[in-house]
Amino acid sequence: MSRNLSSLVLLFKSLHTLRVKRISVSVRVRIAPSPTGNLHIGTARTAVFNWLFARHHQGTFILRIEDTDTARSQPQYTQNILDGLTWLGLIWDEGPYFQSERLSLYREAIQQLLDKGLAYRCYCTEAELDELRSAQKARGEAPRYDNRHRHLTPKQEAAFQAQGRQPVIRFKIDDERQIVWQDLVRGTMTWRGGDLGGDMVIARTSTTPSDIGQPLYNLAVVVDDMDMAISHVIRGEDHIANTAKQILLYEAFGAAVPDFAHTPLILNAEGRKLSKRDGVTSISDFEKMGFIAAALANYMTLLGWSPPDAERFTLAEAAQQFDFQRVNKAGAKFDWDKLDWLNSQYLHDLTPTVLTDVLIPYWRDAGYRFDPEAERPWLEELSALIGPSLTRLSEAVQMSRFLFEPQIEWSEDAQTQLQQPDVAPCLRAVLDALPAQLTPETAKTLINQVVKAQGVKKGLVMKSLRAALTGDLHGPDLIQSWDLLHQRQVDRDRLTQALTYTSVA
């Protein structure tokens, strides 16, 4: 066989293996939020990437609530997380599983490690550990546990127990171990066991020395990921050091190690990790601020992933193209302008019917009074009027206040306009000629008649009418606004009240 031919055969064989591997690995991914706060934008973005990857490979997207920290976990946060994921359209295929309901599984796993001699009880007191850390600090060393209780004899253990000390359980970490994995985003990753802070605590103190206390994060995650047959762990890069520790745990259990993908952090304009100080961080805040779920989901997809072509797409469309080759290593800057732009694009595509449905809760929360059924046509006309000017749904509250509220306040600019010469007779003329039934056409005719009869510029009448009817000099189309006010029978009163601001000629 010639050289070329044999390399061709080799190539074919490797391609074949690849294909077989791709088909045989069933993708199972998970999002594992801790309910210690509302659904955070970073967690939601991680959920987006997991969801996209699962859908791309016809895999399974699992939701697991990591609520072992009983002091900080709250049911209302769990609800906020479930609501936020649902709102974004990140529907899970399995779960939610709750770690708090799986504690026996973790304890069994810890017992296995103890039985294998891979974990041990450590009786150090907080004071001893503090002293150790201070000494390390004084020597300019990084703080780490010095594994001092790794080889206690049964007699030494009994002595500590007799003193009433409550042990934690530590997992042995070999300082000399090199931990290497191929990260789907970051390429080859290497960690030294010695950089992991010494033997790691996997269970908190237990009151009875022979019991196993509260299992901790790294242990619980690995047990769950093994039990749930997770094929790919996709999470934020702040978990990289945990990954090194977790790989050692997989090995200790003799389990296959999943693939890892560490996604870049979301940064603020100054390049620091996006935090509460940047205004909003939870998905429910974004919802309140008036972002549309589809637009926010689209935007989050762009936080770290560069799509091959268009930047505007549904999650399902993104899933068709999603892969980790296009996920950047560098942090993703959160760009409010871009989010606003995307949101306005989505918003302007909504029909008045749909827009009305999404705006009703904002109007209701603002305390506006309306009958959502009887006044439905009026609300849809209003939506059609203000929709094109909206960037965020919440802006509809301010924009439509003068249409809902029977009483308004006139801005200083509006008052100044009303005090201009000729305004009073013009407004009076409009009032005198105001028909019982006003349409946009009759309103225009009426304005033209007043302009003619009063011998003034049309601009003056238009501007004054706007000031009088809306209380402001800027806003949606005047004729349409007037029409809406007239349908609610408030235009006559409004014009009469505005007259009190005019200077009597």
Residues that bind ligand GLU (CB under 6 A): 32-34, 66, 221, 235, 239
Rounded to whole angstroms, how far apart are CA atoms 504 and 142? 81
Instruction: Tell me the closest approach of the beta carbon of residue 163 to ligand GLU, in angstroms.
Output: 35
In the block, tokens 């697991």 appear at: 64
| Dihedral pair phi/psi, residue 91, rounded to 5° | -80, 130
Instruction: Tell me the closest approach of the beta carbon of residue 62 to ligand GLU, in angstroms.
Output: 11
DSSP 351-415: -HHHHHHHHHHHHHHTT----TTTTHHHHHHHHHHHGGG-SSTTHHHHHTHHHH-SS----HHHH
Distances (CA, A) of 71 to 55, 190, 359: 35, 34, 38
Rounded to whole angstroms, how far apart are CA atoms 29 and 60? 6
Rounded to whole angstroms, how far apart are CA atoms 68 and 100? 5
- By the 8 A CB rule, do 245 and 196 touch? yes
Q: C-alpha dihedral over 314, 316, 321, 324, to 10 degrees?
A: 100
End-to-end C-alpha distance for the chain, whole angstroms: 108
Closer CB to ligand GLU, 34 or 464, in the complex: 34
Rounded to whole angstroms, how far apart are CA atoms 356 and 12? 58
For the chain, give me the number of helices (H) and strands (E)?
Answer: 22, 12
Closer CB to ligand GLU, 61 or 410, in the complex: 61
Instruction: Tell me the closest approach of the beta carbon of residue 373 to ligand GLU, in angstroms.
Output: 43
Instruction: Tell me the closest approach of the beta carbon of residue 260 to ligand GLU, in angstroms.
Output: 10
463 is catalytic: no
Provide CB contacts within 8 A for 148, sequence distance 6+. Answer: 124
- Residue 62's H or E segment, with its range, is strand 60-65
Rounded to whole angstroms, how far apart are CA atoms 47 and 159? 49
User: Strand pairing of 232-236 and 259-263?
Assistant: parallel
Instruction: Tell me the closest approach of the beta carbon of residue 275 to ligand GLU, in angstroms.
Output: 15
Instruction: Tell me the closest approach of the beta carbon of residue 271 to ligand GLU, in angstroms.
Output: 22
Instruction: Tell me the closest approach of the beta carbon of residue 243 to ligand GLU, in angstroms.
Output: 9
Closer CB to ligand GLU, 232 or 486, in the complex: 232
Closer CB to ligand GLU, 64 or 494, in the complex: 64
Provide CB contacts within 8 A for 227, sequence distance 6+. Answer: 105
Among 46, 13, 108, which residue's Cα sits nearest to residue 283?
Answer: 46
Closer CB to ligand GLU, 33 or 290, in the complex: 33
Closer CB to ligand GLU, 39 or 113, in the complex: 39
Instruction: Tell me the closest approach of the beta carbon of residue 33 to ligand GLU, in angstroms.
Output: 5
Burial status of residue 193 (CB atoms within 10 A of its CB: 0-12, 13-18, 19 or more):
middle
Closer CB to ligand GLU, 244 or 467, in the complex: 244
Closer CB to ligand GLU, 233 or 332, in the complex: 233
In the block, tokens 């769950």 appear at: 224
Of the residues 13, 276, 329, 458, only one is catalytic, namely 276
- By the 8 A CB rule, do 335 and 268 touch? no
- By the 8 A CB rule, do 404 and 363 touch? yes
Closer CB to ligand GLU, 228 or 450, in the complex: 228
User: Strand pairing of 178-183 and 187-192?
Assistant: antiparallel
| Dihedral pair phi/psi, residue 227, rounded to 5° | -65, -35
Instruction: Tell me the closest approach of the beta carbon of residue 335 to ligand GLU, in angstroms.
Output: 24
Residues with catalytic function: 276
